Amino acid sequence: MKIISDTTHGALDYLTVAIFALAPSLLDFGGVAALLSYGLAVIHLAMTLLTDMPLGPVKVIPMALHAFIEMIVGPVLILATLLLPGIFDGGREFFLTMGFVIFAVWLLSGYGKPIAAR
């Protein structure tokens, strides 16, 4: 069931960027985990700014590609935290949670299609 509209999805994307950008400072992790978090913030911001959705100002990336990338990123974060726990420098639970959140948002988003009637 798709219950997240494109506008809401865009807002959630910007929130995700802020969370990734602030997490190393707020949750006190460094090293590879901090670099990964900052990198994901930059990549997610670029993707959101360039996606053809209501809150994407440049509209170069089609929603289908945006959806595909998020479908991959969520599970990859989950698997990476489970298979390579040592590289996350105290941020393992954060990345595991974010992987599940990104995947859940992917499952519930319409990505250009009408959302479920309320």
Domain for residue 79, yes or no? yes
pTM exceeds 0.85 for this model: yes
Domain for residue 35, yes or no? yes
Average model confidence (pLDDT) across the chain? 94
To the nearest 10 degrees (0 to 180), the angle between helices 31-50 and 6-27 is 160
Question: How far apart are the C-alpha atoms of 91 and 20, rounded to whole Å?
Answer: 11
Q: What percent of the chain has pLDDT over 90?
A: 85
With cut-offs at 50, 70 and 90, classify the pLDDT of residue 100.
very high
Residue 27 sits in which domain range? 6-108
Domain for residue 114, yes or no? no
Number of structural domains, the chain? 1
Give helix then strand counts, H and E, for the chain.
4, 0
To the nearest 10 degrees (0 to 180), the angle between helices 92-108 and 6-27 is 180
